[in-house]
Structure 1
Amino acid sequence: MKKILIGLAFLASSVFAHTAIMSCFDNGDGTITCEGGFSDGSSASGVKFHILEDGKKTFETKMNEDSEVTFKKPIGSYSAVFDAGEGHQVHVKGSEITE
């Protein structure tokens, strides 16, 4: 029984070891830069990224080799979305992005 509990604890910790993270900042020049990654230090290069405005994708790309995306700041409300697959999505509201 003890081996089973240790195995389950290890499995649970490995599930949470790969949490998606993203931070975004206003460059002050009409553009926004978002940096993505994973809690275990893994690169986000090639991970899907998009902008949602009124529930619609208005911009789609992938994180570059530095795990970053820079885009023109939308007018109005929007969300930046880091999309590494089910369970690994991060949404950052435009209203939360500051210089």
Structure 2
Amino acid sequence: MRLKMKMVFAIVAMVLALPAAALAHTALCTCFDNADGTITCEGGFSDGSSASGVGLIVKDGGGKVIEQGTMDKTSKYTFKKPEGAYMVVFDAGEGHKIEIDGKKILE
């Protein structure tokens, strides 16, 4: 009986010691050019959870914020395509930030 209890405690201790990263989910974001002067970005997480309310920032080539908002209830955000170089930042918090260079956003 004592051996079984020790084994149970050992198993419980191992489960509790699992790193948080093993239970985490990965942020996902993609953007596309709508060919009408706007860009739409869609976000989410690898576990299927929504990105509704997640921040999205658009910066110009110098790093200045030119647009800022949050993903809508369908995990999308649409904005006017900036002139020149720009960067899109999907910011779901620590360890969940994705930066997309505007040059890589295609129709």
Q: Which category describes the TM-score, using the shorter chain as reference length?
A: 0.7 to 0.9
Asked if 1:20 is matched to 2:54, the reply is no
Larger Rg: 2
Q: What displacement does 1:11 show?
A: 3.7
Describe how 1:51-66 pairs up with structure 2 within 5 A.
51-53=58-60, 54-66=62-74
- Corresponding residue for residue 87 of structure 2: 79
- Corresponding residue for residue 101 of structure 2: 93
**Counterparts of 1:5 and 1:93 in 2: how far apart (Å)?**
42
* RMSD of equivalent CA atoms: 1.7
**Counterparts of 2:18 and 2:101 in 1: how far apart (Å)?**
34
TM-score (norm 2): 0.81
Shift of the 6–45 alpha-carbon distance from structure 1 to 2, 3 Å rule, reads same
- Corresponding residue for residue 31 of structure 1: 38
**Counterparts of 1:74 and 1:28 in 2: how far apart (Å)?**
13
- Corresponding residue for residue 4 of structure 2: none
The one-letter amino acid paired with 1:83 is D
**Counterparts of 1:12 and 1:87 in 2: how far apart (Å)?**
10
**Post-superposition CA distance 1:48-68 (Å, at most 9, x none):** 111011111110110000000
Where has structure 1 moved over 6 Å in runs of 4 or more? Answer: none
**Post-superposition CA distance 1:3-58 (Å, at most 9, x none):** 6555545644113xx11110000001111000001111110001111101111111
**Counterparts of 2:70 and 2:13 in 1: how far apart (Å)?**
40
**Counterparts of 1:78 and 1:12 in 2: how far apart (Å)?**
31
- Across the two proteins, how many residue pairs are aligned to each other? 97
The one-letter amino acid paired with 1:13 is A
TM-score (norm 1): 0.87
Unpaired segments ≥5 residues, structure 1: none
- Corresponding residue for residue 40 of structure 1: 47
